[in-house]
Structure 1
Amino acid sequence: MYLKGFIMRIPIMLSVLFVVATLSVAQAAESATDPLTDEKKLVKERLTEKPDTVILAVDGMCCRTCALGIGKKACRLEFVDTAALPPTGVLIDRVNSLLTVSVKKGKIVDIASLAEAIRKAGYNPVRFYQLVEGKKLTVETIAATEKK
C-alpha cells in the first residue's frame, strides 16, 4: 500500500524537481551573461544613497594610499566636491575596487579628465557609473590608454 502511494507521487515530485532545476538554470544563465551583475547592484545601491556622486571601477586599488594618490589628483578637478567627502572628494572601496567621487551640485562630470587624473595617480579606470534622473544606472566603459 505504501509503495503504491509513493509510486503515484513520482510524477508530482518530478514536476517539482523540473521547475526548481529550470529556475536555477535561468538564474545561472542571467549571471553568466552579465558578469558585472553584482557590481552593478552594489553601485546602484550606493548611488541611490548618495545621488550627488559617481562611481568608477578602478583596477589596481588596494589600500588607503591609493585613495590619497587618486584624491590628490581628483580634487583639482572643478566638478569634484571636496566638502562632501573630505578631504579629497573621493572614497575608496578597496574590496570591490570602486571609487566614489562626490560631484558639486549643478556640475557635469568630465569623464575623460577624471579618468586621466586616476591614470596620473598610477591606476587604471575601467568603468564609469552614474544614475540618470535619480534611477536609471548608466555604465560607460573607459578605454585603456597605451603606456608610453
Structure 2
Amino acid sequence: MNDDINELIERQWEELHTAYKPTDFQGEDIKHLLTGMYQNWFLDYASYVILERAVPHINDGLKPVQRRILHSMKRMDDGRYNKVANIVGHTMQFHPHGDASIGDALVQLGQKDLLIDCQGNWGNMLTGDGAAAPRYIEARLSKFALEVIFNSKTTLWKLS
C-alpha cells in the first residue's frame, strides 16, 4: 500500500514539474516596457543623487549631509568639545545614509577650519593624511558658525 502511494506521489510530482513551460518574454512589447521602466527609474534616481546629495546648494555652499551635521552639532552644543563618534550618532537621526558618509563629511568640514573647531588629529587634505578614528577626535561649532549660520537675522531656518 505504501509503495502504491509513493508511486502516485512521484508521478504527480513529475507531472507538475514537466508541465511547467516558461512564459515567452521575447516579445517586443515586454522588452520595450521593461527598458522604459528602468530608464525612467535610473533618471529619477540619478537626478535625486545629483540634486539632493552630491552638489552643494547655491545659497550656502553646503551639501545636505553637512547641513544636517551642523544642525545636529547645534542641538548638542553646550560649549564643550564632543567626540566625533557621538556627533555622527546624533546626526544619524537626520541623515539615513550611514555613519561613514557622515564621518567623512564631518572631517572635510573640520579640515577647512571655518565652521567647526577641531581638537585631535583631523588629518590634512593637502597631504592626504587621514583623520584619526572618530572616538579619538573632538569637535564643536566655531564662534563664526554660531554667530553667522545660527543667527536668525542672517539665516532663515525652515523645516525640511
Larger helix percent: 2
Quick check: which has more Rg, 1 or 2? 2
The one of the two structures with greater contact order (alpha-carbon pairs below 8 A, sep at least 6) is 1
Q: What's the TM-score, normalizing by structure 2?
A: 0.33
Larger strand percent: 1
Q: What's the TM-score, normalizing by structure 1?
A: 0.35
